[in-house]
A and B are shown apart, each in its own frame.
Chain A
């Protein structure tokens, strides 16, 4: 490539590459492309590691696409319960009445179903699960409604 293109042409190419790919991606995802290709959304806490023990935030975690809020509830027996709530009209239309699978740290999975109000509770029976294990996990919509 040496000598073939000027610095200005190279800068124009890099600019074009940057603008066109990202604009096309934004449009693709805006039109629901993500949902078609990969119905999975991630939940991730912002500061899972720190000097002290990490606690699941009382205000909950919002999914990366902003469409689901999840809170952690602890039963007296000690079982952890994840309470999901789809957010807004878009969240409801996507999640209500659909089955879903949460994939936690270490590949452990748990299943549940969103009700017609976009609410889902998943009881985690595994006593070894700690709050730090819930700092990052994925939720995948399964194809068929229950």
Chain B
């Protein structure tokens, strides 16, 4: 299987899922713009999220990872597990401050209509932060408010999704390594992934076989896994053995999916910040420089400014012949592919320019 459009958009799938959840909570799938309030119905919301995790290939492959090994019994099983261990996973706070889920719950509570039942003093999950408080919300009508809801969900997802994504990145099944007797901590998973990356470099793209001792030794010297004194100590563990067995497999899906999952993780590094989002005016100077450098076109800058200012994609695309033409000629009218490409080009340019700073 060759990587299709969904694989290419792996970089932003976590942010897209956060945006999807924000829009669902806000009732944007069923309510008109004139309706001021939205009722939070947990079961209905669960059904929609569950269905999306199963039916949307981008979610089922890159987020849920139904290709992982050993494969889950069914896509539904995998989606159930993802829901329980990511979306409903309790998120602890770092230090004494509130957790990202507490911050999400506060934002939801600030839109409550009527009284808000007291919450239990337990670490909240994304799910409980969203549906465990008020039952009716004043909708996030202003686009910047919806962006903030999406941003807070994304902060939770970046934390809650990390261990799951680290197991997928190893090509393994999260069900085997996140729960039960063989459960592995997130730091070991990160270390194992760094080792695997070094090992793949040593194997020079020649996968589908067991690495030789020289490759193993060199990779471990580059990226030792914390808690293991040498390569032998690591490869004789269940986790080490499973990683090498997976690497020796012939399944091409793993190799293409691996890159998509890795992109979802590495993307977080550059964008982690506790500061509020920029408004369109504040973001404009970055975009102007990207235009001057030829990374994006003037009309594309206008598109991004319009998005950040809260105009709908349909409205912006509908009123700009240049963008519609570009969408048709270069992206076969696939708006998602175009926006992902534009976002990636812009992010790459700004990241590179930021790294070039003395």
| Interface residues, chain A, with chain B CB atoms under 8 Å away | 1-5, 7-8, 10-31, 33-34, 36-38, 42, 44-51, 62-67, 87, 135-136
Contact = CB atoms under 8 A, between A and B. Distances in A.
A1 B352 CA distance: 10
Contacts of A15: 151, 271-273, 275, 277
Most buried by B among A45, A66, A136: A66
B1 interface: yes
A23 B14 CA distance: 11
Contacts of A66: 51-52, 54-56
Contact of B1 (A1, A17, A49): A49
B147 A17 contact: no
A51 B275 CA distance: 49
24 contacts: A2-B353, A4-B289, A5-B286, A11-B271, A14-B350, A15-B273, A16-B277, A18-B154, A18-B267, A18-B271, A21-B12, A22-B18, A23-B18, A26-B20, A26-B23, A27-B19, A27-B313, A37-B335, A38-B334, A38-B335, A47-B67, A47-B253, A65-B55, A66-B52
Nearest to B327: A37
Report whether over half of chain B's contact residues are helix, strand or loop; otherwise say mixed. helix
A47 B314 CA distance: 35
Contacts of B154: 18-19
A33 B314 contact: yes
Contacts of A136: 1, 4
A7 B351 CA distance: 10
Contact of A17 (B67, B276, B304): B304
Interface of B: 1, 4-6, 12, 15-16, 18-20, 22-24, 28-29, 51-52, 54-58, 61, 66-67, 75, 146-147, 150-151, 154, 250-253, 267, 270-273, 275-278, 283, 285-286, 289, 293, 304, 307-308, 312-314, 327, 332-336, 339-340, 342-343, 346-347, 350-351, 353-354, 356-358
A47 B1 contact: yes
A8 B275 contact: yes
A112 B314 CA distance: 30
A25 B354 CA distance: 26
B35 to A, nearest CB: 14
Contacts of B312: 24, 27-28
B19 A31 contact: no
A11 B270 contact: yes
Most buried by B among A1, A45, A65: A1
A3 B1 contact: no
A64 B75 CA distance: 13
A51 B249 CA distance: 9
Contacts of B275: 8, 11-12, 15
Contacts of B5: 42
A23 B304 CA distance: 13
Given A23-B23, A46-B61, A64-B57, A12 B335 contact: no
Contacts of B75: 62
B308 A33 contact: no
Most buried by A among B5, B67, B147, B313: B313
A3 B357 CA distance: 6
Contact of A2 (B314, B351, B358): B358
Nearest to A41: B57
B272 A11 contact: yes
B314 A28 contact: yes
The 3 A-B residue pairs with the shortest CB-CB distance, nearest first, are: A66-B55, A23-B19, A26-B19
B31 to A, nearest CB: 11
A23 B22 contact: yes
A136 B57 CA distance: 12
